[in-house]
């Protein structure tokens, strides 16, 4: 292998890989990065056996070839080079890196020793969606998911393709978030419905490397056990989680006894302030009084003290006191960009539902904390 490449492109390609390969120290080869050349492009690949990421960058390839080298060493060198023009060459299982004033030799291994990167068998059927839209959709729900060794399905994101819409959902049993994308916002040639659970770690890595540009497209491919995300610059393939995602439709409130409309920014600020006095359970009390045009947030701590915050609100319904984990409530607010939010309540022991004002494609459900 022999080629010339720009340092800027090298940095971008290597940065996309993240650190997934270094997570399994029991297999040293997983700490390596596979480097391959084809048609004046370099392809870098890493894997942890559950997920693999590959990035592609342009280069002037003089001779095709391949090698695997420790990613941490390669990344450290490339990130500290001063010269923009970089030469890469392989000699006797070594990768030679040269610039006008620097040279390094990294001991590598043959491509054949690197784990086989899994591939999707059917790449004729796919969903194509704007990268920025997909990234925002995942960011709006992933806070509701937490890793669970006992219930692996709670450590994943539901990917529910229903032909004329796609739903993404996440839950940790204490809260739930759902985002819907209608068919006029993506292209697809898949006629059958597809439902699978994608590991949270996979989605987090995808969000990390995805572009926010609306004009960049990402294609999504499926098979029975894997999912592939692909753009012109990267590929991410991952195993999916076996099991059934919780049937959450039954817990979505169809009606609410109290509806509160409040300014989103004021509520966020109130949560930050009153949350500072909450206890170890992050409890915050929301007090709604009949005939009053505000809601009160109250928290106390036997060591720190107590505080309260009044927020102007439009209220339909009776009075109520309800306790939430303020951090969970705050997570729901972070994903909402509208000026006002609607909060629907049905008592202190039933799920509350939060929606952006006049928006129907997203909701966030949170369970109250049972007050003593």
Q: How far apart are CA 222 and CA 152, in angstroms?
A: 20
Residue range 98-105: mean pLDDT, rounded: 96
* pLDDT value of position 215: 75
* pLDDT value of position 23: 61
User: Residue 154 — pLDDT band, cuts 50, 70, 90?
Assistant: confident
pTM beyond 0.95: the answer is no
How far does the chain reach from its first CA to its final CA, in angstroms?
Answer: 69
Residues 6+ apart with CB under 8 A from 301: 277, 278, 279
Asked if the model's pLDDT at residue 137 lies above 70, the reply is: yes
The edge-to-edge listing of strands for the beta sheet with 320-325 is 194-199, 156-161, 165-171, 175-182, 362-366, 352-356, 340-345, 258-263, 305-316, 294-301, 283-288, 320-325
Q: Which of 70, 203, 141 is nearest to 334 (CA)?
A: 141
Domains by residue range for the chain, with CATH: 2-113 (3.10.150.10), 127-248 (3.10.150.10), 253-366 (3.10.150.10)
Query: Cα dihedral sign for 278, 279, 282, 284?
Result: negative
Considering just the CA atoms, what is the radius of gyration of the chain in Å? 25
Residue range 169-187: mean pLDDT, rounded: 95
Partners of 160 in the β-ladder:
167, 195
Asked if the model's pLDDT at residue 213 lies above 80, the reply is: no
Give the 3-state secondary structure of residue 76: helix
Strand 258-263 relative to strand 340-345, pairing: antiparallel
Q: Which of 193, 170, 140, 178 is nearest to 245 (CA)?
A: 170
Q: How far apart are CA 262 and CA 313, in angstroms?
A: 5
Asked if the model's pLDDT at residue 229 lies above 70, the reply is: yes
Query: Cα dihedral sign for 60, 66, 68, 69?
Result: negative
Percent with pLDDT over 90 in the chain: 86
Q: Which of 104, 157, 161, 173 is nearest to 128 (CA)?
A: 161
DSSP for 281-303, please give it. Answer: T-EEEEEE-TT-SEEEEEEEETT
Judge contact between 9 and 45, C-beta under 8 A.
no
Residue 238: how many CB atoms within 10 A of its CB? Answer: 24
User: Residue 214 — pLDDT band, cuts 50, 70, 90?
Assistant: low
Q: Which of 77, 71, 74 is nearest to 53 (CA)?
A: 71
Asked if the model's pLDDT at residue 299 lies above 80, the reply is: yes
User: Residue 85 — pLDDT band, cuts 50, 70, 90?
Assistant: very high
* pLDDT value of position 149: 63
Q: How buried is 15 (Cβ within 10 angstroms: 0-12 exposed, 13-18 middle, 19+ buried)?
A: middle
Judge contact between 227 and 220, C-beta under 8 A.
yes
Judge contact between 66 and 73, C-beta under 8 A.
no
Residue range 300-304: mean pLDDT, rounded: 90
* pLDDT value of position 226: 96
Q: H-helix or E-strand containing 340?
A: strand 340-345
Q: How buried is 316 (Cβ within 10 angstroms: 0-12 exposed, 13-18 middle, 19+ buried)?
A: exposed
User: Residue 371 — pLDDT band, cuts 50, 70, 90?
Assistant: low
Give the mean pLDDT of the chain. Answer: 93
Q: How far apart are CA 31 and CA 71, in angstroms?
A: 6
């Amino acid at each position: 292998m022999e080629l010339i490449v720009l340092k800027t492109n090298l940095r971008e390609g290597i940065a996309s890989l993240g650190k997934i390969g270094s997570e399994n120290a029991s297999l040293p080869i997983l700490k390596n990065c596979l480097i391959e050349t084809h048609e004046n492009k370099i392809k870098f690949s890493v894997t942890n056996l559950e997920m693999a990421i590959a990035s592609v960058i342009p280069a002037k390839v003089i001779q095709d070839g391949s090698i695997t080298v420790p990613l941490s060493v390669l990344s450290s060198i490339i990130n500290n080079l001063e010269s923009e023009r970089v030469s890469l060459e392989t000699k006797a299982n070594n990768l030679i890196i040269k610039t006008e004033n620097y040279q390094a030799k990294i001991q590598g291994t043959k491509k054949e020793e690197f784990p086989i990167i899994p591939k999707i068998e059917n790449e004729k059927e796919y969903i194509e969606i704007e990268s920025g839209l997909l990234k925002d959709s995942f960011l709006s729900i992933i806070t509701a998911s937490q890793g669970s060794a006992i219930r692996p399905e709670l450590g994943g994101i539901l990917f529910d393709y229903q032909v004329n819409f796609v739903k993404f959902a996440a839950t940790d049993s204490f809260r739930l978030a759902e985002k819907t994308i209608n068919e006029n916002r993506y292209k697809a040639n898949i006629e059958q419905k597809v439902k699978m659970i994608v590991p949270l770690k996979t989605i987090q890595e995808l969000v990390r490397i995805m572009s926010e540009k609306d004009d960049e497209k990402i294609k999504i491919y499926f098979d029975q056990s894997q999912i592939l995300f692909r753009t012109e610059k990267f590929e991410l393939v991952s195993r999916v989680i076996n099991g059934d995602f919780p049937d959450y439709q039954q817990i979505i409130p169809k009606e609410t006894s109290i509806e509160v409309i409040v300014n989103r920014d004021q509520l966020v600020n109130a949560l930050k302030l009153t949350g500072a006095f909450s206890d170890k359970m992050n409890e915050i009390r929301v007090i709604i009084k009949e005939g009053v045009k505000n809601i009160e947030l109250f928290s106390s701590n036997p060591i720190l003290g107590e505080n309260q915050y009044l927020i102007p609100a439009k209220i339909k319904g009776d009075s109520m006191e309800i306790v939430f984990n303020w951090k969970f409530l705050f997570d729901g607010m972070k994903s909402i960009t509208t000026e006002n939010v609607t909060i629907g309540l049905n008592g202190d022991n039933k799920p509350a539902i939060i929606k952006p004002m006049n928006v129907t494609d997203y909701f966030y459900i949170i369970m109250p904390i049972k007050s003593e």
